[in-house]
Structure 1
Amino acid sequence: MTPLLQLRDVARSYVTRNNLFGQARPVRAVDGISLTVNAGETLGIVGESGSGKSTLGRMALGLELPDEGTVTFDDAPMPAPGSAAWRTLRRQMQMVFQDPLGALDRRLPVLEQIIEPLVIHGIDGDQRSAGLAALASVGLSAAQGARHPHELSGGQRQRVVIARALITSPRLLVCDEPVSALDVSIQAQVVNLLIDLQAERGLGMVFISHDLRVVRQISNRVAVMYLGRVVEEAAADDLFRAPQHPYTRALVSAAPSPGPRRVERVILTGEPPNPAARPEGCAFHPRCPVATARCRTEAPAPARIAPGHTAACHLLTPAAKVAAR
């Protein structure tokens, strides 16, 4: 099967300036990541703030091009942002943003905003009927479509954003922290809505979040990011049942669990390093409870540790496992 979306060794850097001295410093937000998303599949992206999740999502949509590596959609290279080819392709790729109120125009009724992508892409037909159908698909009424964003609840606004994203019948949906600003009960409603819509339409989905509970519910596969790199990737059930990388183990052990805890609690010390001053070797070694001398000098490459399961850790390579016996 040809992946719907494929990122190969993508990297993206930014230049920041020190406010005190005005010195420019490069920050490598994404550093050599390779991932794929198939039609009908959800890839969850998790990690702490500043790990590069949102930058990766923007590159997946072609909103930014990588400095290194390639992004392909349906086996074709991603066009340059703003080009005619990219604008045409955006009909097939849409984004659900974290802040629905910020993503909507407060001056317009929400039905007009749902219809707007049809106008932008020149999609003919009864646009109002299509907008009402999109509203109905996310559980909203025509009366709610006549309201302005500030007249709706946070969960209703997020449903409006989802309806607007889906009205062009995209094949790929990138969700960047879509439920982080919502109450827990509303989060469940929005996540269940996304699951139902994906099953109905066969969407490929990238779901970016720091909430492991939500990611576990919605994802088929999960990639764990730390300081711009993927440190572990596996099927969601495998990753949450038996995390292998020390960082993943710490994340999973800290997440609330409705049943008996299967992973020993791991408490990390310190804060994530400054991305502009990445540590030598494995970026996680200053906080890792099992780091060795090799971890401080040599960055580990992702390695296959089980079918469909990779991790970037010197202690998880086949040679390391043999030596430990």
Structure 2
Amino acid sequence: MKAALYPGGGQPIIIADLTDPRPGPHDLLIRVHRCGICGTDLSMTRGGAWDYGKGVQFGHEYAGEVVEAGREVTGFRPGDRVAVMPSVPCSRCEPCQAHGNPVLCTAKPGSAMAGFAEYACIPASVAVRLPATLSLADGALIEPLAISLYGARLGRIGAGDRVLVLGGGTVALYAIYWARRLGAGRIVALSRSARRRDLALAMGADEFVTAGEDEVGLVQEVLGGAPQVVVEAVGAEGVLGNAIRHAGPFCRIVSLGFCTAPDPVIPAIASYKCVSLQFAVGYRMAEFLYIADQMDKGHVDPGAIVSRTIGLSDLPAMLATLRQPNAETKVHVMCGG
């Protein structure tokens, strides 16, 4: 089969010929249909302290069709269409048992990050069957939708809340989507570029504000007051401090940006607002199941953010393109489907 491999050390991705995987007794062999390119894929393949490692397969936003089920697997059969939760839980450690977040699993029994390939062999426990109303393209969006839903729930976004979302990428757009579905009152999207203004409004924002000197006043004017919840979905230095600058009294800030560099804040400013700062990574199976069941019942099609679909052989060049200024939002890779 064809599969993308990362050689490590920031070297360019290669498309290699690998032996077709075979399912173990508790596994599913799936033909991958689509896999989305994530910002993490870019940051973890550029070399440095945060890196996928040498000679690994990757790709974690994917969906496909079951080709074969292991002999001990029940509940799945060939032809089933599934989305994949790429982090495999041990189901015994505290993060797994108490919080249900397999990304934080301390045992790390394995990984299902193999979406940029024609086939993937995964534990049946991380597969989520897609309802008939969803396409495989929809299935490849469940993982990024789950990140933003998890963050929105940690931020306790509720009825009438004034919400500010910092950023214009996938996580930010989906944070707007969930804030609207969770009953937020007014929602403002704030970004340096107005390129995704229309998408932000389509996802449920009441207004889009371009970052600048007057942004704090403009945000408060649109929201009708200072934000009660701020979702940081940029992951760049200085953004946490900006989130605190915007925050109202007792504001709940959720950081989903996953910045990998030092990002200083002034605690005194946050203290005088009694701000709560929640960092988050990952999601639970609960988010995956909820999205699979509810995705087609929202106020807008989440697939509207997909700006381009490419073939697997085009992945290395597209990764290079995405590292530069570009017009893409979410790129999907057609793999083996």
Does TM, normalized by the shorter one, top 0.5?
Answer: no
Structure index of larger Rg: 1
Normalising by structure 2, report the TM-score: 0.30
Normalising by structure 1, report the TM-score: 0.31
